[in-house]
Copies of this chain bind each other. A is one copy, B any other.
């Protein structure tokens, strides 16, 4: 399972809408509106790098209201939970 954490700055009036659109995407397991310098944090869990590439370079660009994204790819996951099973990939 390939995990990526995406930090997003969004047009203020569209925070809720963008969060809902992201959460409906198959690759996106969770989205949070957050305190601090960013507006949203999306947790992406996919099988292949290409899925992540398509999400970021083709699907996200279609969502109106996203101003800036900083995509972080996870090298390694550390957890007491069996995340792969939990998110049934």
A residues at B contact (CB < 8 Å): 2-5, 12-13, 15-16, 19-20, 22-24, 29-38, 41, 43, 49, 52-53, 56-58, 60-61, 66, 69-81, 83, 86-87
Contacts and interface: CB of A to CB of B under 8 A. Distances in A.
Contacts of A60: 12
Q: How many copies does the complex hold?
A: 10
Contacts of A19: 76, 78
29 contacts: A2-B49, A5-B5, A5-B32, A5-B34, A5-B41, A16-B58, A19-B78, A20-B78, A23-B78, A29-B79, A29-B80, A30-B79, A31-B77, A32-B72, A32-B76, A33-B53, A33-B74, A33-B78, A35-B72, A36-B36, A36-B37, A36-B72, A41-B72, A43-B43, A49-B73, A57-B75, A57-B76, A81-B87, A86-B86
